Amino acid sequence: MMAAFSVARSSCGLINGLRVSFRSLAPVKHGAVAAAALQTSLLPDCRRYSVGHLSVKERIDMKRKAALVGGGQKRIDAQHKRGKLTARERVELLLDPESFVESDMFVEHRCSDFGMEQDRNKFPGDSVVTGRGRINGRLVYVFSQDFTVFGGSLSGAHAQKICKIMDQAMTVGAPVIGLNDSGGARIQEGVESLAGYADIFLRNVLASGVVPQISLIMGPCAGGAVYSPALTDFTFMVKDTSYLFITGPDVVKSVTNEDVTQEELGGAKTHTTVSGVAHHAFENDVDALLNMREFFNFLPLSNQDPSPIRACHDPSDRLVTSLDTIVPFETTKAYDMLDIIHAIVDERDFFEIMPSYAKNIVVGFARMNGRTVGIVGNQPKVASGCLDINSSVKGARFVRFCDAFNIPIITFVDVPGFLPGTAQEYGGIIRHGAKLLYAFAEATVPKITIITRKAYGGAYDVMSSKHLRGDVNYAWPSAEVAVMGAKGAVQIIFRGKENQAEAEAEYVEKFANPFPAAVRGFVDDIIEPATTRKKICRDLEVLASKKQVNPWKKHANIPL
């Protein structure tokens, strides 16, 4: 690549230089921000109607102005004091500058009970900001719940606004990002609020697999409200300021007599490490929103769009020599699958999903020669990379997302099998493990598999094997595809035989290598690890035109 900065507007994509000027080098302490009120200039000669003393234009301006400050400056300050941004600040930061097109700014709630009909209880736009905008030029629909208006509680009008943009997103095929910060149902509205939730849930379900749906929990989200994020493709949280739970600590105390804090019950740490409800947690609002932009770059806009390809600076034929030594000689020794992933993908850029939950499997998004891919890998570093209930479910959901949205799947296999034990069997490892098997088998996107070391037993079949329609299956020279490890196998095959060590050596010689799989065509090639990136990039180019259709069905019946 010649000179440095390719700017979209310059015809040749190059400019000679870029100049930076430092107007003030003094460190920025606090910027003046941002519930920026519109400069309204009232025209003196505008037409007035007979009702009231304000012209329509003036009333429009007033409403807009009111909508921009939500629940008012006091509540905005309170929101800031909690370390949270306002609904509008969030939208502004998430979207490209000046790209936000707001809808339903004039919608107000329709509740007339409990004094809600009074003017002071009416807020233009109610407790949510909705609209569309762009992230790096790509269309997205957004709703952002406004905690400063009735604690972001969900009224009929609030739900209606969300439903409207979801319907539009479905019509044009664009993702929906929800920024959740809501105290729950608008109790004053009663059943209307519940109906509103249901309307949203229905749309979440209908949109599932049609457009990507992302929830970013940036405040409380409790009760029935949690099911909207739960139905979306990804749920992200903000550390220390966001909570997700069915019932709060008080109810928990009264029902089960457990003492638990909000944070312990439904904080970011709980959901990203224990429950697996959330897919990632970010440090704060700004961090979360900026990361959301990066994350969005990986996604196609809808199931009708191909996996996006971004301009790539990392050579697709780069040899990764460090991989030649990464797998230790002793089969019992661990290594970090993330090292392999980082070294192979473009620019070491890997967006890991659920990095702290079921760490024996690694899933996430990356790019290969600019094209988004989904990566699934067993993690030998944690529990030897075995498959258990949690890792199967984590893997399965990720694989299904990729398949739904045309994202090729690259699977790195080093799996000693399924985790044995009563805890797993009683927990239903059979039906949960089946999910991952099911997901890989039904996927029709390009599937490339690399066996780095162990591929034992049923877990070998599960991990995107040739038999499940893997398009390209590679083995590294260190690969061992077998029913089980040498020791266990020998105890069965040569039960009672004296010289177990010799039998073990024979087994290792025969099975602890890639040949048994390679001679049967179950792996397409045995490749030098250093060439893995190059091969995957080439294969993806070929597989870009892959067409595969599953038999017609109303919908498949994944073992839930």
Partner 1 sequence: VKKSRRCVGDKNTKSVFCLPPQTFDKILIANRGEIACRVIKTCQKMGIKSVAVHSDVDASAVHVKMADEAVCVGPAPTSKSYLNMDAIMDAIRSTGAQAVHPGYGFLSENKEFAKRLAAEGVTFIGPDTHAIMAMGDKIESKLIAKAAKVNTIPGFDGVVETADDAVKIAQQIGYPVMIKASAGGGGKGMRIAWNDEETREGFRFSSQEAASSFGDDRLLIEKYIDNPRHIEIQVLADKHGNALWLNERECSIQRRNQKVVEEAPSTFLDSVTRRAMGEQAVQLAKAVQYSSAGTVEFLVDSKKNFYFLEMNTRLQVEHPITECITGLDLVEQMIRVAKGYKLLHKQEDIPINGWAIESRVYAEDPYKSFGLPSIGRLSQYQEPLNLSNVRVDSGIQEGSDISIYYDPMISKLVTYGATRAEALSKMEDALDNYVIRGVTHNIPLLREIITHPRFISGDISTNFLPEVYPDGFKGHQLEVGNRRELLASAAALYITAQLRSQKVLGNLRVSSTPVECTHWELCAELGEGLYSMEVEVDGGKVEVSGQWNLASTLLPLTINGTDRMLQFKVRVLSKLAAELNSYMPEKVAEDTSSILRSPMPGSVVAVSVKPGDTVAEGQEICVIEAMKMQNSLTAAKQAKVKKVHCKPGETVGEGDLLVELE
Say whether residue 342 binds partner 1 (CB under 8 A). yes
Q: How far is the CB of 236 from partner 1 (least distance, A)?
A: 16
| 316 DSSP 8-state letter | T
Q: Are 504 and 487 in contact (CB under 8 A)?
A: yes
Number of residues in contact with partner 1 under rule CB under 8 A? 81
Q: Are 416 and 384 in contact (CB under 8 A)?
A: yes
Annotated catalytic residues are: 223-224, 458-459
**Binding residues among 217-246 for partner 1 as defined by CB under 8 A:** 240
Q: How far is the CB of 345 from partner 1 (least distance, A)?
A: 11
Q: How many CB atoms lie within 10 A of CB 358?
A: 22
Three-point CA angle 528, 533, 537, nearest 5°: 125
Say whether residue 339 binds partner 1 (CB under 8 A). yes
Q: By C-beta, is 15 or 542 nearer to partner 1? A: 15
In this structure, the chain runs to a length of: 560
Q: What is the contact mask toward partner 1 in residues 297 to 336, using x (rule: CB under 8 A)?
A: x---x---xx-xxxxxxxx-----xxxxxx--xx-----x
Instruction: Return all residues near 322 (Cβ < 8 A) that are at least 6 apart.
Output: 339, 343
Instruction: Return all residues near 309 (Cβ < 8 A) that are at least 6 apart.
Output: 369, 370, 371, 372
Q: How far is the CB of 316 from partner 1 (least distance, A)?
A: 11
Q: What is the contact mask toward partner 1 in residues 258 to 297, using x (rule: CB under 8 A)?
A: -------------------------xxxxx-xx--x---x
Q: Are 13 and 22 in contact (CB under 8 A)?
A: no
Instruction: Return all residues near 127 (Cβ < 8 A) that are at least 6 apart.
Output: 145, 146, 147, 149, 150, 151, 152, 153, 154, 155, 158, 182, 186
Q: How far is the CB of 186 from partner 1 (least distance, A)?
A: 27
Distance CA 106, CA 66 (A): 10
Q: Which of 19, 53, 547, 553 binds partner 1 (CB under 8 A)?
A: 19
Distance CA 490, CA 496 (A): 10
Burial of 521 (0-12, 13-18, 19+ CB in 10 A): exposed
Tokens representing residue 264 in the block: 């312990």
Q: By C-beta, is 300 or 385 nearer to partner 1? A: 300
**Binding residues among 343-362 for partner 1 as defined by CB under 8 A:** 343, 346-348
Q: What H or E segment, with its residue span, contains residue 132?
A: strand 128-135
Three-point CA angle 493, 499, 503, nearest 5°: 45
Of 91, 96, 77, give the one whose Cα is nearest residue 128: 91
Q: Which of 11, 12, 32, 496 binds partner 1 (CB under 8 A)?
A: 32
Say whether residue 546 binds partner 1 (CB under 8 A). no
Say whether residue 74 binds partner 1 (CB under 8 A). no
Say whether residue 12 binds partner 1 (CB under 8 A). no
Q: By C-beta, is 28 or 492 nearer to partner 1? A: 28
Q: By C-beta, is 254 or 321 nearer to partner 1? A: 321
Q: How far is the CB of 277 from partner 1 (least distance, A)?
A: 23
**Binding residues among 81-100 for partner 1 as defined by CB under 8 A:** 83-85, 89, 92-93, 96-99
Of 159, 200, 184, 337, give the one whose Cα is nearest residue 246: 184
Q: What is the contact mask toward partner 1 in residues 472 to 511, using x (rule: CB under 8 A)?
A: ----------------------------------------
Tokens representing residue 417 in the block: 């099998």
Q: How far is the CB of 341 from partner 1 (least distance, A)?
A: 11
Q: By C-beta, is 80 or 269 nearer to partner 1? A: 80
- Of 1-9, 183-191, 417-425, 545-553, the window that binds partner 1 (rule: CB under 8 A) is 1-9
Q: By C-beta, is 324 or 528 nearer to partner 1? A: 324
Q: By C-beta, is 54 or 505 nearer to partner 1? A: 505
- Of 23-31, 219-227, 358-366, 514-522, the window that binds partner 1 (rule: CB under 8 A) is 23-31
Say whether residue 29 binds partner 1 (CB under 8 A). yes
**Binding residues among 95-154 for partner 1 as defined by CB under 8 A:** 96-99, 134, 136-139
Say whether residue 34 binds partner 1 (CB under 8 A). yes
Tokens representing residue 496 in the block: 């009672």
Distance CA 460, CA 464 (A): 8
Q: Which of 17, 44, 52, 551 binds partner 1 (CB under 8 A)?
A: 17
